[in-house]
């Protein structure tokens, strides 16, 4: 019995993904095929054809719930990430406004409502089939969540450092 080629186990690629369009094996670190530029999501069949048809106005209405518009248009994971971002930034913002970090809290609350508006816009663009106009992509949401937590940590550390003398 011949050995499988390097990078495979019994014919299954272990160090990348295979493009369904052209058959090129691509590293896991790339989002699109190096040969034909097909998106990894299209290659695994998670494209727009799986997305339910929703009127943009209905997606906007559902977008009034954090992440709801994304759920309605079939982007559940992104909807969950957006909901987490919005709810975390709003909760931390309200807590800080009520505490002694009012400016940081105000920044977080304002950020929440701006991001919420963008998420509604994104849900309407997804419902209209205009995925290129989407602003809150997974990397953007992840980065924004990181910045929110970094801001909260910096504010919390500065609170614990007050009143102490060296």
pLDDT interval class at 50 (50, 70, 90) = low
Is the domain of 35 the same as that of 108? no
Is the domain of 94 the same as that of 31? no
Is the domain of 112 the same as that of 38? no
Global pTM? Answer: 0.65
CA distance 63 to 113: 12
Domain annotation covers residue 3: no
Give the range of the structural domain holding residue 66, as residue numbers without chain letter.
53-161
Buried b (16+ CB within 10 A) or exposed e, 48-69: eeeeeebebeebbbbbeebbbb
pLDDT in tens, 135-162: 888 889 999 999 999 988 888 887 665 5
Is the domain of 23 the same as that of 67? no
Q: Alpha helices, DSSP H only, in 10-101?
A: 40-43, 56-62, 68-72, 76-98
Q: Which residues are registered as beta bridge partners of 27? A: 16
- Quote the number of domains for the chain: 2
Is the domain of 117 the same as that of 58? yes
Q: How far is CA 31 from the centre of its chain?
A: 15
């Amino acid at each position: 019995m011949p050995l499988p080629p390097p990078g495979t186990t019994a014919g299954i690629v272990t160090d990348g993904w295979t493009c369904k369009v052209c058959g090129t094996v691509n590293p896991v670190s790339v989002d699109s095929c190096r040969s034909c530029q097909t998106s990894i999501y299209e290659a695994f069949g998670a494209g727009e054809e799986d997305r339910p048809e929703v009127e943009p106005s209905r997606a906007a209405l559902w977008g009034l719930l954090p992440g709801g518009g994304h759920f309605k248009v079939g982007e559940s994971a992104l909807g969950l990430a957006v909901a987490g971002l919005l709810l975390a930034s709003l909760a931390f913002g309200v807590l800080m406004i009520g505490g002694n970090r009012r400016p940081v809290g105000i920044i977080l609350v304002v950020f929440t409502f701006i991001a919420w508006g963008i998420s509604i816009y994104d849900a309407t663009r997804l419902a209209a089939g205009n995925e290129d106009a989407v602003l809150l992509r997974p990397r953007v949401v992840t980065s924004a969540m990181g910045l929110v937590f970094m801001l909260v940590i910096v504010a919390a550390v500065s609170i614990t450092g007050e009143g102490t003398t060296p």
